Structure 1
Amino acid sequence: MSEPVIWREPVVEEWIDYNGHLSEPYYVLVFGHATDAVMDAVGLGPAYRSEHDASLYTVEAHVRYLDEVSLGVDLEVRSSVIGVTGKLLWIWHEMYADGRLRATEEVLGVHVTGGSSSPLPDEVAAAARALLVEAPEEASGQIALRR
């Protein structure tokens, strides 16, 4: 099984909401930084983007907020690739603070060149497959009211 890509950053005061916890948009910001780390790991970093006018665009994302995050803690996001197709990269993020899982996000990204979807380069697809792990049971969840 492949090791996850790790992203770390501290929670700063500006991210804390009126309830005294990490505000909703900052979970997504941190997960975005973790997505960038995965992109770097598979060869879609800044140099690639500049040289090829290409990047990964998010087409769908799903966040689960599992536990509160307070000011002053260090966040660690553990990211894995859980799916790769010709144009798509499916990423699973788990956010930890103080050793406890606080949130997850799954992101589906499409490779885009010059504004249009395009196949992942062979070397990028191979690097993504090298990080591939089985999708967790929680992936592809739905929001639903149980009646």
Structure 2
Amino acid sequence: MSAALPLYRQTVRDDWIDYNGHLSEAYYVLIFGFATDALMDSAGLDAGYRKRSGCSLYTVEAHVRYLDEVAPHSQLAIRTTVLGVDAKKVRFLHEMYVCEASSGEPAGDAVATEELFTLHVDQGAGRAAALPDAAREYLTGLAGPAPEWAGRGIREV
């Protein structure tokens, strides 16, 4: 992962805990959404850009893997890796880690992952549009290798 994109960090809130006593599945996706927003902001696709251009990244496919429970008040870190970029598309993934209380650094294996396929959409035209050159170049510079699990679908029982 490139050092150019810092870890996104989030603390688990009490109202995100489900009836089983751990992070509810919807909130894994919410936290990953916040990490996507941070990626967009760092690439210049922030609120100001969206307002000026009428364009935004739209998620057209996502695959979430819930790998371990997350306890209340856990400190989380999300690592984001760009897997590919072209004129109108970006494929990337997030990996969620629980941080060690003493160091605040991610520890152990990922507790969840999300892989996303996104399109840069002109909202007024209602169709995909070319990414700005600067955003495409920045995102391309963040590209890293795909982990072995990337690109997989749901497995049959």
1:119 aligned partner? 130
**Which residues of structure 2 form unaligned runs of 5+?**
100-106
Q: Does 1:19 align with 2:20?
A: yes
Q: Normalising by the residue count of structure 1, what TM-score does the alignment of the two structures yield?
A: 0.94
2:155 aligned partner? 144
Q: Does 1:71 align with 2:72?
A: yes
1:130 aligned partner? 141
- Secondary structure of 1:103's counterpart equals strand
**Which residues of structure 1 form unaligned runs of 5+?**
none
Quote the Cα distance in structure 2 between the aligned partners of 1:104 and 1:96: 9
Root mean square deviation, CA, Å:
1.2
Q: Which moved more, 1:5-14 or 1:103-112?
A: 5-14
Quote the Cα distance in structure 1 between the aligned partners of 2:118 and 2:153: 18
Q: Give how far 1:43 is off.
A: 1.3
1:94-123 per-residue CA deviation (whole Å, 9 max, x = no partner) reads 000131310010111100112321111111
Q: Normalising by the residue count of structure 2, what TM-score does the alignment of the two structures yield?
A: 0.89
Quote the Cα distance in structure 2 between the aligned partners of 1:144 and 1:66: 14
- The partner residue of 1:102 within 111, 115, 126 is 111
Q: What number of residue pairs does the alignment pair up?
A: 146
- Secondary structure of 1:20's counterpart equals coil
Q: Give how far 1:75 is off.
A: 0.9
Quote the Cα distance in structure 2 between the aligned partners of 1:76 and 1:139: 19
Task: Percent identity, please.
Answer: 49
